[in-house]
Structure 1
Amino acid sequence: MRGVEAAFAAWYEVEKGRFASEALRQILTEVAPAERRLAASLLYGALRRQSLWKDLIRNRCRRPFHQLAPVTRAALILGTAGLVELRHFVPAVLMNALAMRLRAEKAQGDEPLLHAVLHRVTEDAPRKMEQLRNSAELRDQALLFGIPGWAAAHWSREWGTSETRRLLRLSAMKAYLSLRVDPTRRDELVEALQAAGTRAWASPDLASAVRTASFGFPPGLPGYEEGAVTPMSESSLWVGEAAVSSWSGGAVLDLCAGRGVKTGHLATRLPEATLEAWDLSAGRVHAGAREMARLGVADRVTFREGDALELEPRTPPSLILADVPCSGSGTWSRHPEAKWRLAAEKLEDYAVLQVRLLERAADLVLPGGRVVYSTCSLFREENEKVVAELLGRRKDLVEVPFPFKNSLFRKGRPYGTVIWPGLPWVDGFYAAVLMKRR
C-alpha cells in the first residue's frame, strides 16, 4: 500500500469514530517504511485544520460539499492539506495519486472538479491564510489554526484573549513521539533508536523519557516488542510520576485505566506494588491485559471490566490514580480528530461524571492514602472546578503540592497544576494530588 492510499484508508476509519493513531497503527503494517511518514503527514495535516480546509474548499467548489461522494470529499481535504502544508512533496505527484484513488472507487467523473478546486485552493490559500493571521477577530484565529470556534471563545473567558491566541497556535502544533523507557537503559535505547534511523535523544526534563522527531510507528521501534519502550507523552509521564511519588506502600488502583498506558507506568516503577485496573470497555480491558504481558508485569496487575462507580476493589487501595474520561482538549495537537467530535454541551456531562468518579476514589482510598486526579483537558470545568466542588464538601480531603516543578507548569486556580502544551512532546494536562485525612 502506498502512502496516499494509506491516508485514505485511515481517513475512512477516523470518520467511523476510530482514533487516528489507532487507525494508522493498524494500516501502516501494510505500508512500506518509506511511505509511512507521508501517510501520517497527510492524515494529521488534514485533521489538524479540517475546518480551514473545508472553508477553502466550499468557497471554491460549485457543488455543495456534503453532496459529493465520500472519496471526493476525502480527496479534496487530503489534497488541500497536502498542497498547502507538505513542503517536500511534488504537487503533480499528489494530484495524480488523488485522481487514481477516485478512479479506484469509481468516482472518476469527479476528476475535473478535483483538479479545478485544488488549483483554485493552491492559488488562493496563501492570501486567505494571511488575512486570517492578521485578523484581530478570535474566530478568524480559530479558523486559521483549526480550533472549533466555541472552544476558542470558552478559552478566552478562562485564559484571556492573549493567552488564548497562544493556545490556539500550540493546539495546531505538530506533535512528536515521546517514549517511556527504563532510566537505567535510556542511553542504550537512544543509541538503538538512532541506529535504526529514528532521530532520538534523552529528554532534559524526565529521566524516563526519550524524545523523537518522528510521528512514530511503535511496533517497528527497537525495544518495543520486549517492553523496553512505550509511547507516552511527557505530560502523561509527569502525572504517572506524581502517582509514583505518592505511593507509600499498599495496593494501587487505576480507576479508569483505558488501554493501560499509565497502569504499565505504575507497574514498572513500583515493582513491589500490586495493582488493580478498571475500565468500562471490554476491548480496552483486553488491550490493557496485552499491554501488561508486553511489559512483563501481568503477574502483578489485575484488569477488571466494569463501572468504576460500582466495582469494589479486591484490596483496599492506599493510592488511586483517577485519570478520568474528559474532553481531551489538551491533546488536540496529538489527537486532532477529537476536537471535531466534541460539542460545548458535552463539557457539562463530563464534569458531572468527573465529580462522581473523584468522589468514588475519595471513598475507596484508605485514610492516609492519596488520590491523583488528572485529565488531558484545558477546560476549568473538568479540572479546578471539579476538585473545588469536592473539597468544598469533603472535609476529610486536603490538597498536597504537586511533587515536580517545570517552566510549563502553572498553578491551578486555585487547585491543582496545569501542564501547558508548550512542546511537541508535551500535551495539555491537569493534575491534583489529594490526601485523605486519617
Structure 2
Amino acid sequence: MTPSARIAAAISLLAALEEQCFAPAARRRPADAVASDFFRARRFIGGGDRREVSERAWDVVRQRLRLDWHLARLGVAPTPRLLLLAQMLLGRAEDHGRGRQAVEAVFDGSHYGPAALDAGERRVAAALDGRPLIDPAMPDGPRLNLPDWVLPALSARFGPRLAEEAAALETEAPLDLRVNLLKTDRATAARTLAAEGVPTEPTPLSPWGLRLPSRRPVTGTAAYREGMIEVQDEGSQLIALLAEAGPGMRVADYCAGAAGKTLAMAATMGNRGRITACDTSAPRLEGAAKRLRRAGVDNAERHLLAPGDRWAKRRAGSFDRVLVDAPCTGTGTWRRNPDARLRTRPEDLAELVAVQDEILARASELVRPGGRLVYATCSLLPQENEEQMDRFLARAPGFVPVPLERLWTALLPGVGVPCAGPWMSLSPGANGTDGFFCAVLERVP
C-alpha cells in the first residue's frame, strides 16, 4: 500500500471504531474486536500495512481526549479525518518536524488515498502545526489523559501522586507469564523459553511470574503449547496467591471468565481437591476448557450460572475458598485497553457497583464457616474496591477481614508488602502491575 492508502485505511478504521465503540448510541464493542472484523473484511491488506494502519488508528485512540480538546478549541468536530490529521501534527514522534506539507502530501486525493484537504481542514492543519500535544492551557482531564468523571475518585486515591499514576497508565504494559507449577518450575520454564529465543526475568513480587523485557509472541513457543506457561499479569497472579487455595480444598471461582485464576489456584492445590469455575457466559467457559486441558488441570469442573439455577443454593456453606473476580470498570487495565477510557462512562460505574453488591451477596453464601471469601477487581476506583468492602462488611457481620500483611508475610516471607492497609491495592505507577484490588475475608466459625 502507498502511504496515502494506509492513511485512508486508518481513517476508515477510525470511522468503524467511532460507530461501534465510542459514539453515544454505539454498541460499545471492544476496539480490538472491531479492528479484527475490519481487517478480516480486507484480507488484501498485508501484514506490514496492517501494522501501520493499526498503529495509526491506535495512536489516535490513545490520545483521543487530548486531540478532542485541540479540535474543540478550534471549534471543529472530531471527525476521523481531522483526528488523524491532528495526531500526525501533534502526537506521533516520527511525524514531528514534517509539518502540514507532509500531511497534505498523503491527503492527496489519489485513487486509493484520502480526499485532498478542503479549505477548513487546511486551516485546522495550519493552526495545529508546531503546537505541543500536551498544551499548558489544558485542564486536568486531557492533560492527564483521563476522563473527567474519574478525576475525583482517582484524586482521592492517589493525591499528589495522581500525575505519576496517570503517566503510568499511558506506558506500554509489560508481558507477564505465570509458570504452571503442575508441569514445571520457574527456572526450568525460563530456560525453556530462553532456548526458544525468548529471554525473561523473574517478576519482583509473584513467585510464579516471568516478565519479558520486550513484548513478543509467546503462544507459538513449545513452553506455551505444552502448558508450561500462561499469559497473566503479575497482579492477577497475586490475587490467586492470596486466595491460598490448598490441596484437598473445595474452591469456587465464581466469575471465572476464561479461567486464568482457576488455572493458578489449581496449581496451588496440586490438582487435589475440587475447583469449580463458574460464569454466566458459555463461550467463556468453553474457552476455559481448552486452557484447563493444556495446563494439565484435572481437578476442575465448569458450571454455567443461569437464571433460576439452584446450584448455589444446594452448595451453600460448602466451599473453603470462594473467589469473586468481579466485573468492573477495568480502569486498572487502561494502559492495555486504551479504548476503554473512551467507552466507559459514569453510568457504567453505578451499574457495576450494584452488580458487585449482588454477586458478593450470592457468592458469600457459598463460603463455609472458617472458609474465606476473596473479592478482587482490576479497578483503581474506591467505589468498586474499599467502599464496596465497607458496604459488604456492614451488612455481613459474619465475615471479618484477613489483613494483607498477615497473609503476605506468611506466603511471601522476605518480600516486602506492596502497599499499606488491610487490602492489596496495586497500581501501574507504584507497583508496575495493572491496577488490582484484592480483599480477603474469613467467615466466622
Q: TM-score range by the shorter chain?
A: 0.7 to 0.9
Which residue of 338, 341, 346 corresponds with 1:339? 341
Larger displacement relative to structure 2 (165-174 or 355-364): 165-174
Q: Is 1:404 the counterpart of 2:421 in the alignment?
A: no
Taking a change above 3 Å as real, the CA distance of residues 254 and 21 of structure 1, as seen in their structure-2 partners, is farther
CA contact (8 A) 1:142 1:168 kept: no
Paired letter, 1:179: L
Distance 1:102 1:433 in 2: 61
How large is the Cα RMSD of the aligned pairs?
3.9
Q: Is 1:420 the counterpart of 2:422 in the alignment?
A: no
Aligned to 2:259: 260
Deviations 1:263-315 (A, max 9, x none): 22222332213221121223322222232233332x43222222499552576
CA contact (8 A) 1:396 1:437 kept: yes
CA contact (8 A) 1:329 1:339 kept: yes
Aligned residues: 416
Taking a change above 3 Å as real, the CA distance of residues 338 and 273 of structure 1, as seen in their structure-2 partners, is farther
> CA offset at residue 391 of structure 1?
1.5
> CA offset at residue 356 of structure 1?
1.9
Paired letter, 1:154: A
CA contact (8 A) 1:145 1:172 kept: no
Taking a change above 3 Å as real, the CA distance of residues 113 and 241 of structure 1, as seen in their structure-2 partners, is farther
Paired letter, 1:374: A
Taking a change above 3 Å as real, the CA distance of residues 233 and 174 of structure 1, as seen in their structure-2 partners, is same
Aligned to 2:437: 430
Distance 2:256 2:268 in 1: 16
Paired letter, 1:176: P
Aligned to 2:177: 179
CA contact (8 A) 1:409 1:420 kept: no
Aligned to 1:392: 394
Distance 2:431 2:47 in 1: 22
| SS state at 2:311 partner | coil
Deviations 1:80-114 (A, max 9, x none): 4466454457969996997599954x853558877
Q: Is 1:49 the counterpart of 2:63 in the alignment?
A: yes
Larger displacement relative to structure 2 (381-390 or 318-327): 381-390
Matches within 5 A, 1:32-431: 41-59=55-73, 64-65=77-78, 68=79, 73=80, 75-78=81-84, 80-81=86-87, 84-87=90-93, 99=107, 104=112, 108=115, 117=124, 120-124=127-131, 126=132, 129-132=134-137, 140-160=139-159, 162-182=160-180, 184-191=184-191, 193-194=193-194, 198=198, 200-221=200-221, 223-243=223-243, 245-247=244-246, 249-270=248-269, 271-297=271-297, 299-307=298-306, 310=309, 312-313=311-312, 316-402=318-404, 403-404=407-408, 409-412=418-421, 415-422=422-429, 425-431=432-438
Taking a change above 3 Å as real, the CA distance of residues 87 and 64 of structure 1, as seen in their structure-2 partners, is closer
Q: For the pair shown, which has the larger CA radius of gyration, 1 or 2?
A: 2
Taking a change above 3 Å as real, the CA distance of residues 112 and 215 of structure 1, as seen in their structure-2 partners, is farther
Paired letter, 2:391: E
> CA offset at residue 407 of structure 1?
6.0
Taking a change above 3 Å as real, the CA distance of residues 251 and 408 of structure 1, as seen in their structure-2 partners, is closer
CA contact (8 A) 2:331 2:379 kept: yes
CA contact (8 A) 1:331 1:428 kept: yes
TM-score with structure 1 length normalisation?
0.79
CA contact (8 A) 1:49 1:144 kept: no
CA contact (8 A) 2:177 2:211 kept: yes
Distance 1:221 1:111 in 2: 50
Distance 2:384 2:161 in 1: 19
Paired letter, 1:148: P
Taking a change above 3 Å as real, the CA distance of residues 332 and 293 of structure 1, as seen in their structure-2 partners, is same
Taking a change above 3 Å as real, the CA distance of residues 118 and 108 of structure 1, as seen in their structure-2 partners, is same
Taking a change above 3 Å as real, the CA distance of residues 37 and 389 of structure 1, as seen in their structure-2 partners, is same
Unaligned runs of 5+ in 1: none
Task: From the two aligned structures, give the one with the greater helix fraction.
Answer: 1
Paired letter, 1:433: V
